[in-house]
Amino acid sequence: MLSATETAQRFVAHINSHDVDAIAALLAPDHCFIDSLGGEARGRETLRNGWRQYFRMVPDYRIYVDRVLVDGPHVVLLGVARGTYSADGALHAENAWSTPVALRALTHDGLIAEWQVYADNEPIRRRMAGASA
Protein backbone atom coordinates (compact mmCIF):
# COMPACT_ATOMS: atom_id res chain seq x y z
CA MET A 1 0.00 0.00 0.00
CA LEU A 2 1.18 3.52 -0.78
CA SER A 3 2.22 5.89 1.99
CA ALA A 4 0.21 9.07 2.55
CA THR A 5 2.91 11.08 0.74
CA GLU A 6 3.07 8.66 -2.20
CA THR A 7 -0.73 8.65 -2.48
CA ALA A 8 -0.93 12.47 -2.59
CA GLN A 9 1.97 12.77 -5.03
CA ARG A 10 0.49 10.12 -7.31
CA PHE A 11 -2.83 11.97 -7.20
CA VAL A 12 -1.11 15.19 -8.34
CA ALA A 13 0.65 13.24 -11.11
CA HIS A 14 -2.72 11.93 -12.33
CA ILE A 15 -4.17 15.44 -12.21
CA ASN A 16 -1.21 16.77 -14.19
CA SER A 17 -1.64 14.06 -16.82
CA HIS A 18 -5.42 14.68 -16.89
CA ASP A 19 -6.05 10.95 -16.41
CA VAL A 20 -9.58 11.12 -15.05
CA ASP A 21 -9.91 7.36 -14.60
CA ALA A 22 -6.63 7.18 -12.65
CA ILE A 23 -7.76 10.15 -10.53
CA ALA A 24 -11.05 8.40 -9.77
CA ALA A 25 -9.25 5.14 -8.95
CA LEU A 26 -7.36 6.94 -6.16
CA LEU A 27 -10.52 8.40 -4.63
CA ALA A 28 -12.21 6.78 -1.68
CA PRO A 29 -15.82 5.85 -2.60
CA ASP A 30 -17.11 8.54 -0.19
CA HIS A 31 -14.42 11.06 -1.24
CA CYS A 32 -15.00 14.71 -0.34
CA PHE A 33 -13.57 17.53 -2.50
CA ILE A 34 -13.55 20.96 -0.85
CA ASP A 35 -12.93 23.97 -3.08
CA SER A 36 -11.35 27.31 -2.20
CA LEU A 37 -14.69 28.77 -1.21
CA GLY A 38 -15.59 25.87 1.08
CA GLY A 39 -17.98 24.23 -1.37
CA GLU A 40 -18.07 20.45 -1.21
CA ALA A 41 -18.57 17.71 -3.78
CA ARG A 42 -18.85 14.11 -2.64
CA GLY A 43 -18.45 10.70 -4.18
CA ARG A 44 -16.07 9.10 -6.65
CA GLU A 45 -18.36 9.37 -9.68
CA THR A 46 -19.33 12.96 -8.93
CA LEU A 47 -15.64 13.86 -8.84
CA ARG A 48 -14.83 11.83 -11.95
CA ASN A 49 -17.33 14.02 -13.83
CA GLY A 50 -16.12 17.17 -12.07
CA TRP A 51 -12.48 16.60 -13.08
CA ARG A 52 -13.54 15.80 -16.67
CA GLN A 53 -15.43 19.11 -16.86
CA TYR A 54 -12.59 21.05 -15.24
CA PHE A 55 -10.07 19.75 -17.77
CA ARG A 56 -12.37 20.87 -20.59
CA MET A 57 -12.43 24.34 -19.04
CA VAL A 58 -8.67 24.40 -18.29
CA PRO A 59 -7.11 21.96 -20.80
CA ASP A 60 -3.52 22.59 -19.67
CA TYR A 61 -4.12 22.67 -15.90
CA ARG A 62 -1.09 21.67 -13.84
CA ILE A 63 0.00 21.71 -10.22
CA TYR A 64 3.66 22.37 -9.40
CA VAL A 65 4.54 21.19 -5.88
CA ASP A 66 7.43 22.89 -4.09
CA ARG A 67 6.97 21.53 -0.57
CA VAL A 68 5.28 18.57 1.09
CA LEU A 69 4.33 18.43 4.79
CA VAL A 70 3.08 15.20 6.33
CA ASP A 71 1.38 14.36 9.61
CA GLY A 72 0.20 10.76 9.59
CA PRO A 73 -2.59 10.44 7.01
CA HIS A 74 -2.62 14.22 6.38
CA VAL A 75 -0.50 15.64 3.56
CA VAL A 76 -0.18 19.32 2.69
CA LEU A 77 1.30 20.23 -0.67
CA LEU A 78 2.44 23.80 -1.33
CA GLY A 79 3.14 25.19 -4.75
CA VAL A 80 1.55 26.81 -7.77
CA ALA A 81 -1.47 25.93 -9.91
CA ARG A 82 -1.64 27.24 -13.44
CA GLY A 83 -3.49 26.78 -16.65
CA THR A 84 -5.35 28.50 -19.44
CA TYR A 85 -9.08 29.09 -19.29
CA SER A 86 -10.73 27.89 -22.49
CA ALA A 87 -14.28 28.74 -23.47
CA ASP A 88 -13.97 27.03 -26.86
CA GLY A 89 -11.39 24.27 -26.46
CA ALA A 90 -8.59 26.44 -27.85
CA LEU A 91 -5.77 27.86 -25.77
CA HIS A 92 -5.39 31.62 -25.99
CA ALA A 93 -2.27 33.01 -24.28
CA GLU A 94 -4.17 35.95 -22.80
CA ASN A 95 -6.37 33.51 -20.85
CA ALA A 96 -3.43 31.93 -18.98
CA TRP A 97 -3.37 32.24 -15.19
CA SER A 98 -1.24 31.17 -12.24
CA THR A 99 -1.82 31.26 -8.49
CA PRO A 100 -0.11 29.99 -5.33
CA VAL A 101 -1.86 26.91 -4.00
CA ALA A 102 -2.01 24.83 -0.84
CA LEU A 103 -3.60 21.41 -1.13
CA ARG A 104 -4.64 19.25 1.80
CA ALA A 105 -5.09 15.52 1.35
CA LEU A 106 -6.51 13.16 3.93
CA THR A 107 -5.51 9.66 2.94
CA HIS A 108 -6.96 6.35 4.04
CA ASP A 109 -5.81 2.89 2.93
CA GLY A 110 -3.90 4.30 -0.05
CA LEU A 111 -6.83 6.43 -1.25
CA ILE A 112 -7.68 10.12 -1.08
CA ALA A 113 -10.56 10.51 1.38
CA GLU A 114 -10.53 14.33 1.24
CA TRP A 115 -8.89 16.83 -1.11
CA GLN A 116 -9.07 20.47 -0.15
CA VAL A 117 -7.83 23.36 -2.28
CA TYR A 118 -6.68 26.68 -0.85
CA ALA A 119 -6.07 29.10 -3.73
CA ASP A 120 -7.02 32.53 -4.95
CA ASN A 121 -9.74 32.03 -7.58
CA GLU A 122 -9.49 35.60 -8.86
CA PRO A 123 -6.88 34.92 -11.60
CA ILE A 124 -9.12 32.40 -13.40
CA ARG A 125 -12.26 34.47 -12.75
CA ARG A 126 -10.67 37.44 -14.51
CA ARG A 127 -9.81 35.21 -17.48
CA MET A 128 -13.34 33.82 -17.59
CA ALA A 129 -14.85 37.31 -17.55
CA GLY A 130 -12.74 38.51 -20.47
CA ALA A 131 -12.01 35.27 -22.31
CA SER A 132 -11.32 35.08 -26.02
CA ALA A 133 -13.67 32.74 -27.78
Q: What residues does each domain of the chain span? A: 4-129
Sheet of strand 40-42, all strands in order from the earlier edge strand to the far edge: 40-42, 27-34, 111-119, 96-108, 74-84, 62-71
Distances from the Cα of 58 to the Cα of 69, 90, 96, 106, angstroms: 27, 10, 9, 25
Residue 61: strand, helix, or coil: coil
Of 102, 73, 103, 78, nearest in space to 4 by CA:
73
pLDDT band for position 40 (cuts 50, 70, 90): very high
Residues 53-108 pLDDT 10s: 999 999 999 999 999 999 999 999 999 999 999 988 889 999 999 999 999 999 99
- Tell me what pLDDT residue 67 has: 98
The mean per-residue pLDDT over the stretch 114-132 comes to: 82
Q: Which CATH number fits domain 4-129: 3.20.20.140, 3.10.450.50, 1.10.3720.10, 3.40.250.10?
A: 3.10.450.50
pLDDT for 132 beyond 80: no
- Tell me what pLDDT residue 126 has: 79
Angle at 54 between CA 39 and CA 127, to 5 degrees: 90
Rounded Cα distance between 24 and 53, Å, is 14
Cβ atoms < 10 Å from Cβ of 71: 8
